[in-house]
């Protein structure tokens, strides 16, 4: 793996970002978007937020949304969240811009708030910084901290693309389109206790054509008998109906346990120091959840003697399904990227696709990133020439033992031959 890609990798998963390093650098505009833009594209009226507790995920440096909401006379409690607030230069700039603001340094996959804390959550242009796996983690966290009847709005997702849109150097565009049409992913989100709605954005609000994903907290789903039991008897693993004693019930202090998550550990240490951000409580029992598509407990698992055996078996099955899905997704994205690159180059040079050379594509093709790899990168140049491409996928087998100690095993990246 190149030094650049390794720097931006998160736990060796298929991540096109390293949150701490890249969020501000790759965000536009870095100061955040205007309140009017939030209203226009996320389809709400600021007056709806009167008296509400609001979370702005991925807020810009100046927290313009929270600042302008206050200037408009709306009395709402807004928490502006960004992992970049962990850096002093960004915290200083934010405080200078909006001294009354409430800023929290955290990531969406592990929100440092209690259950049912917010009436409204906005994730505006956040999805471009997430892969499918981490988006689903973030989605669960949003569902967890939403109050009953609360809403989370994620968007916008662009519906219509021309070649230039697809090749802007942002792999999130094709990923976001794939995710919004992924029935399994949408089904999984519903399993997290939220109703999922895709709401089209009127053309006058968003001329390019797009839609938002809206989560509505489903009281019945969140308050079913099994989930309610977790309050007194232990941790409930959503989608599977498997319950085990929580680490706190076993006398284990997860604040002192190694969760083996580099970014999460850095965030936790930051919050312990309490540097210019409010100290917020976090139920660390709920950090890790089962990943992969929802599946029922198969017949062969019913004879397991311990809950832990069932969990391991389920996760093995999930891992196999998840790996197969990720390989198919990767092949599709890479094939599309190479195909479009050839089409654009041929159009620019007035050649037929079969007449193109490698140098034609590298010199006259689009300047894009695909799966985090620069087309002009020397290593990638060699791989194209040899007919190889880089693919990464992880094995999401989470180790969750009866004692409650959490950990994770995964593989790194690997190379696979891609057919010419």
Token pair of 381 as six digits: 């140049």
Residue 395 CB burial class (10 angstroms; 0-12, 13-18, ≥19): middle
Q: Which of 138, 311, 179, 159 is nearest to 237 (CA)?
A: 311
Q: State the Cα–Cα distance between residues 325 and 184, nearest whole angstrom.
A: 10
Q: Residue 96: exposed, middle, or buried by beta-carbon count in 10 A (0-12, 13-18, 19+)?
A: exposed
pLDDT in tens, the chain (420 residues): 233 222 222 223 333 333 333 444 445 555 567 899 999 999 999 999 999 999 999 887 778 899 999 999 999 999 888 877 777 777 788 888 888 888 887 778 777 777 788 999 999 988 776 655 566 677 778 888 889 889 999 888 776 554 444 434 444 444 445 555 556 656 666 666 777 777 888 888 887 777 888 888 875 443 333 333 222 222 222 222 222 223 333 333 333 333 344 555 555 565 555 444 333 333 322 222 222 233 333 344 444 444 444 444 555 555 566 556 655 665 565 566 667 677 777 887 888 888 887 777 666 765 443 333 334 444 444 444 433 333 322 223 222 222 222 222 222 222 222 222
The DSSP secondary-structure symbol of 151 reads: E
Q: How far is the C-alpha of 218 from the C-alpha of 194, rounded, in Å? A: 5
pTM for the whole structure: 0.50
Q: How far apart are CA 219 and CA 228, in angstroms?
A: 12
What is the residue-wise DSSP string for 190-244? HHTTEEEEEEEEPTTT-TT-EEEEEEEE-HHHHTSHHHHHHHHH-EEETTTTEEE
Sorted by where each starts, the structural domains of the chain and their CATH numbers stand as: 3-222 (3.40.50.150)
pLDDT for 136 equals: 67
Integer angstrom CA distances of residue 270 from 91, 163, 180, 266, 338:
12, 42, 34, 6, 42
Q: Which residue in this structure is represented by tokens 């399994």?
A: 184
């Amino acid at each position: 793996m190149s030094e650049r890609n390794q720097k931006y990798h998160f736990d060796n998963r298929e991540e096109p970002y390293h949150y701490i390093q890249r969020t501000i650098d790759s965000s536009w505009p870095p100061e955040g978007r205007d309140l009017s833009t939030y209203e226009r594209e996320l389809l709400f009226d600021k007056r709806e937020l009167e008296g509400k507790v609001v979370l702005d995920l991925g807020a810009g440096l100046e927290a313009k949304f929270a600042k302008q909401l206050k200037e408009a006379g709306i009395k709402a409690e807004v928490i502006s969240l960004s992992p970049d607030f962990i850096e002093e230069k960004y915290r200083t700039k934010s405080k200078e811009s909006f001294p009354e603001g409430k800023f929290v340094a955290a990531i969406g996959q592990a929100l440092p708030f209690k259950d049912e804390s917010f009436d409204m959550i906005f994730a505006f242009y956040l999805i471009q910084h997430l892969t499918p796996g981490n988006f689903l983690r973030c989605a669960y966290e949003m569902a967890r901290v939403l109050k009953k009847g609360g809403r989370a709005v994620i968007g916008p997702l662009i519906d219509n693309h021309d070649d230039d849109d697809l090749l802007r150097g942002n792999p999130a565009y094709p990923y976001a389109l794939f995710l919004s049409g992924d029935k399994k992913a949408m089904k999984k989100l519903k399993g997290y206790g939220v109703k999922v709605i895709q709401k089209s954005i009127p053309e006058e609000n968003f001329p390019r054509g797009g839609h938002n994903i809206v989560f509505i907290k489903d009281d019945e789903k969140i308050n079913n008998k099994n989930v309610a039991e977790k309050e007194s008897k232990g941790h409930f693993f959503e989608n599977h109906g498997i319950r085990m004693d929580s680490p706190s019930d076993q006398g284990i202090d997860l604040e002192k346990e190694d969760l083996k998550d580099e970014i999460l550990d850095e965030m936790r240490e930051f919050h312990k120091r309490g540097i210019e951000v409010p100290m917020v409580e976090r139920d660390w029992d709920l950090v890790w959840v089962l990943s992969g598509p929802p599946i029922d407990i198969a017949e062969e698992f019913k004879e397991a003697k311990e809950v832990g055996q069932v969990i391991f078996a389920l996760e093995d099955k999930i891992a196999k399904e998840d790996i197969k899905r990720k390989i198919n997704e990767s092949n599709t994205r890479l094939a599309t990227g190479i195909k479009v690159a050839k089409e654009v180059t041929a159009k620019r040079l007035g050649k037929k696709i079969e007449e193109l050379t490698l140098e034609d594509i590298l010199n006259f093709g689009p300047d894009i990133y695909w799966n985090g790899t620069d087309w002009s990168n020397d290593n990638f140049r060699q791989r194209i020439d040899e007919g190889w491409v880089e693919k990464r996928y992880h094995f999401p087998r989470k180790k969750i033992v009866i004692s409650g100690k959490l950990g994770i095993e995964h593989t790194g990246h690997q190379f696979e031959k891609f057919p010419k």
